[in-house]
Amino acid sequence: MSKLTGWWKDRSTAAKVELYTRGSFHFFAVIEIFSFGLVPVGAAAEGTVSRPLAIGALVVVLVHAVATAFLSSRALDWQVGSRERPVRLAVATSVASAVVCLAFLVLRKTGHLPEAVAPSLVGGLACFTCGSLVLCMNRVRQMWRVSPAWALGAGTAVLALGLPVAEAVGYAVGMLLACLFMSMACGFSGWLLKMVHELDRARELQAQLAVAEERLRFGRDLHDVMGRNLAVIALKSELAVQLARRERPEAVTQMIEVQRIARESQREVRDVVRGYREADLGAELEGARGVLTAAGMDCRVEAEPGRKLRPDVQSALGWVVREATTNVLRHGDARTCVIRLTAPEEGELTLVVENDGAPEVPAGPPGSGLAGLRERLAVLDGTLEAGPVGDGRFRLRARIPGRQLRGLEVRA
């Protein structure tokens, strides 16, 4: 018993719903056989139907039950996306069922089937045929047309055979109600199974997107963390080499600084892996000023104190400062750089990093750093603009709407 319950618990919700739905439609075949296939057998026991005809009718109902169950199974496969729509099988089942129903009506006309037996056989076959047919449809309008079509066809056939009008109306109304009930039940079951599978696939897709997003975050953070540090290490190492060739003692100081930055980079990479890495705006502004000044540039940081920002806003702007500093060090031959942070009490926040010495023609296509910054700012409804502004100057401007500017103070 524990194995059985464990097997059931280990299945996903979609698998449970699919198993229950398939089992229900297979059980419909048993219901059809015992509800309608045994009707002529009982009539044969009473002597109102010949025994060969009763056995033949039972066999026909049995074959029909198996055929509709098979069609339902194929239709459910199509609903969950594992098979093409069984159009040919549905058409063949419909035509065969219509022919059999017409044959039973002819037997009713000739008197071989009594009035109490023929409606059960015709109505039962039509009802379960409609149930399997609606599973092959994906539009409600199409489903609603199945039952009236069968009811109209049955009533017309009864009138064409010369049977009483009252009997034709009874066939049409009874078949319409029975087929409508069966169509709604089967259609809802198919729709429910389809929705559950779509939700299950959506969860899988959400998990895949979460993994992809985490990979993008890791790559973006790693680029932002290592970009500037590697640029500074390269710059200071080159300076140390030049000082060492001149036998200047400052070379040791520069290499000690390189060692410190390398160790700091190790710590920051570990933080990126753990997902805890955040950029501090104040620290990044001071770091940018120190790094650019050490590189021989005239760097000015102009920030308006006192405006309060949320931590995530400060972090996003900190990454902007870091990436902009990296680009100034890597590209062009800058002599001056101005970092201006404008945070008025009302209105949008603007961070501008502008430097000279930019090449007239970009060295290549934009890298992933600016794209990563745009992703960070987009979360805050912010924008990023970067490009030459003439006279050999390059400007990077980040904007964040005023409604996002709450939390902590801006301090340069």
In a domain, 223, yes or no: no
CATH of the domain at 298: 3.30.565.10
pLDDT of residue 278: 64
| CA–CA gap between residue 182 and residue 175 (Å, rounded) | 10
Strand partners, 394: 355, 388
The verdict on 144 and 15 lying in the same domain is: yes
The verdict on 68 and 195 lying in the same domain is: yes
The tens digit of pLDDT for each residue in 51-103 reads 899 899 899 999 999 999 999 999 988 988 888 989 999 999 999 999 999 99
In a domain, 355, yes or no: yes
The verdict on 53 and 198 lying in the same domain is: yes
Per the structure, the count of domains in the chain is 2
Nearest to 380 by CA among 354, 345, 343, 405: 405
The verdict on 199 and 287 lying in the same domain is: no
Residue 106: both structure tokens together: 């002819």
The verdict on 203 and 292 lying in the same domain is: no
pLDDT of residue 200: 80
In a domain, 351, yes or no: yes
In a domain, 262, yes or no: no
pLDDT of residue 234: 83
Which residues constitute the domain of residue 352? Answer: 279-412
Residue 67: both structure tokens together: 């055929």
The verdict on 158 and 293 lying in the same domain is: no
In a domain, 3, yes or no: no
| CA–CA gap between residue 61 and residue 54 (Å, rounded) | 11
Work out the angle at residue 335's Cα, subtended by the Cα atoms of residues 331 and 340, and round it to the nearest 5 degrees: 85
The verdict on 304 and 193 lying in the same domain is: no
Q: How many CB atoms lie within 10 A of CB 273?
A: 12
| CA–CA gap between residue 234 and residue 246 (Å, rounded) | 19
Q: How many residues does the chain have?
A: 412
Collect contacts of 14-20 with beta carbons under 8 A, ≥24 apart: 14/196, 14/197, 14/199, 14/200, 17/192, 17/193, 17/196, 18/76, 18/80, 18/193, 18/196, 18/197
The verdict on 162 and 35 lying in the same domain is: yes
Residue type for 140, please? V
Residue type for 361, please? V
pLDDT of residue 277: 56
Say if CB 183 and CB 130 are below 8 A apart: yes
In a domain, 172, yes or no: yes
In a domain, 135, yes or no: yes
The verdict on 41 and 180 lying in the same domain is: yes
Query: Of 152, 179, 207, at which residue does a domain stop?
Result: 207
Query: Of 189, 207, 225, at which residue does a domain stop?
Result: 207
* C-alpha distances in Å from residue 114, one per residue of 34, 123, 191: 19, 14, 39
Secondary structure, 3-state, the chain: CHHHHHHHHCCCHHHHHHHHHHHHHHHHHHHHHHHHHHHHHHHHHHCCCCHHHHHHHHHHHHHHHHHHHHHHHHHHHHHCCCCCCCHHHHHHHHHHHHHHHHHHHHHHHHCCCCCCCHHHHHHHHHHHHHHHHHCCCCCHHHHHHHHHHHHHHHHHHHHHCCCCHHHHHHHHHHHHHHHHHHHHHHHHHHHHHHHHHHHHHHHHHHHHHHHHHHHHHHHHHHHHHHHHHHHHHHHHHHHHHHHHHCCCCHHHHHHHHHHHHHHHHHHHHHHHHHCCCCCCHHHHHHHHHHHHHHCCCEEEEEECCCCEECHHHHHHHHHHHHHHHHHHHHCCCCCEEEEEEECCCCCCEEEEEEECCCCCCCCCCCCHHHHHHHHHHHCCCCEEEEEEEECCEEEEEEEECHHHCCCEECCC
Query: Of 176, 207, 238, at which residue does a domain stop?
Result: 207
Nearest to 122 by CA among 176, 69, 193: 176
| CA–CA gap between residue 179 and residue 171 (Å, rounded) | 12
Residue 368: both structure tokens together: 């992933």
pLDDT of residue 406: 55
The verdict on 300 and 188 lying in the same domain is: no
Note the pTM of the prediction, 2 decimals.
Answer: 0.55
Say if CB 65 and CB 37 are below 8 A apart: yes
* Sheet architecture: strand order including 336-342: 298-303, 336-342, 349-355, 393-400, 383-390
pLDDT of residue 203: 73
pLDDT of residue 412: 45
The verdict on 294 and 158 lying in the same domain is: no
Say if CB 87 and CB 81 are below 8 A apart: no
| CA–CA gap between residue 363 and residue 385 (Å, rounded) | 18
Low-confidence residues in the chain, pLDDT < 70:
1-10, 207, 210-214, 217-218, 225, 272-279, 304-307, 332, 360-368, 404-412
In a domain, 241, yes or no: no
